[in-house]
Amino acid sequence: MIMYTCAFCKKHSCEAENPEPMPQNCPRRETEVLKQVKETYRDPKAAKLAYHAALVEAEGYCEKTRLDEIIDFAKRCGFQKLGVAFCIGLSREAEVFCTILRHHGFEVVSVICKNGGIPKEYLGIKEQEKVRPGTYEPMCNPVGQAVLLNKAQTEFNIILGLCVGHDSLFIKYADAPVTVFAVKDRVLAHNPLGAIYLADSYYRQK
Ligand code: SF4
């Protein structure tokens, strides 16, 4: 089994037209696999996403916010009906976000994480394992968010603040392509990279 370690590579010769010298375990040596991967971009759906993603990246580089880029990308791809899967803890942000999307002419379907009202006990969660033991706690239902947005036939889905793992389920079960507007990090103002920027200080103690 080949172990790729791009995160520790200092050569980054993958960015060069002529990649030599490549590290021994460089994914670029996987010529057969990469040949098949390139073919994937011939698929019209993948080609459309890849083409417009490249344009959005280049045209908005260090100028447009992620919100601008999501709007730009959806418009370029011709997506009219957007799905928003959001966390109840970010309801206020979801309302503003959906209002902005509507303002830009999109039809917006939004589904909250707690849809369905299924108690956490259904997952085998015990009383002491709840966020607030002794209370009724509905489980987050990302599969429900995906299935309901599928039912609404959204063309492009956007995650706003889903928890770790819930986002995984949503992405797995959603039919339409998914992007992320914001991720959940209750401690770092939903800016998880803050933990990485603190790696030499706060996290050195951990
Ligand atoms: S693809 Fe190759 S050159 Fe690029 S980061 Fe990974 S190991 Fe380094």
Pocket test for ligand 1, best of 12, 25, 33 (most atoms within 8 A of CB): 12
Q: How many separate domains does the chain show?
A: 2
The average pLDDT across 21-28 equals: 92
Tokens of 9: 């590579």
Distance 13 CA to ligand 1 centre (A): 6
Ligand 1 atom nearest to 9, measured from its CA: 8
How many helices (H) and strands (E) the chain has is answered by: 7, 4
The verdict on the CB of residue 14 being under 6 Å from ligand 1 is yes
Distance 48 CA to ligand 1 centre (A): 26
> 125: which residues sit within 8 A by CB, 6+ positions away?
137, 139
pLDDT over threshold 80, residue 18: yes
Say whether both 189 and 138 belong to one domain. Answer: yes
User: Tell me, what CATH number does 117's domain have?
Assistant: 3.40.50.1860
pLDDT confidence of residue 1: 64
**Is 37 part of a structural domain of the chain?**
yes
- pLDDT per residue over 61-116, tens digit each? 999 999 999 999 999 999 999 999 999 999 999 999 999 999 999 999 999 999 99
- pLDDT per residue over 173-186, tens digit each? 999 999 999 999 99
pLDDT confidence of residue 77: 98
Say whether both 187 and 151 belong to one domain. Answer: yes
> 175: which residues sit within 8 A by CB, 6+ positions away?
146, 149, 150
**What domain range is 164 assigned to?**
66-205
pLDDT, mean over the chain:
96
The answer to whether the beta carbons of residues 119 and 137 sit under 8 Å apart is yes
Say whether both 161 and 100 belong to one domain. Answer: yes
pLDDT confidence of residue 152: 98
Say whether both 58 and 76 belong to one domain. Answer: no
The verdict on the CB of residue 22 being under 6 Å from ligand 1 is yes
Say whether both 131 and 187 belong to one domain. Answer: yes
pLDDT confidence of residue 203: 80
* Residue 20 banded pLDDT, cuts 50, 70, 90: confident
Give the residue, by CA position, lying nearest to ligand 1 atom 6. Answer: 6
Closest of 166, 187, 189, 191 to residue 178, by C-alpha: 166
Closest of 106, 38, 37, 111 to residue 73, by C-alpha: 106
Ligand 1 atom nearest to 27, measured from its CA: 1
Pocket test for ligand 1, best of 4, 10, 11 (most atoms within 8 A of CB): 11
The average pLDDT across 7-19 equals: 89
Tokens of 125: 């969660």
Q: Whole-prediction pTM value?
A: 0.94
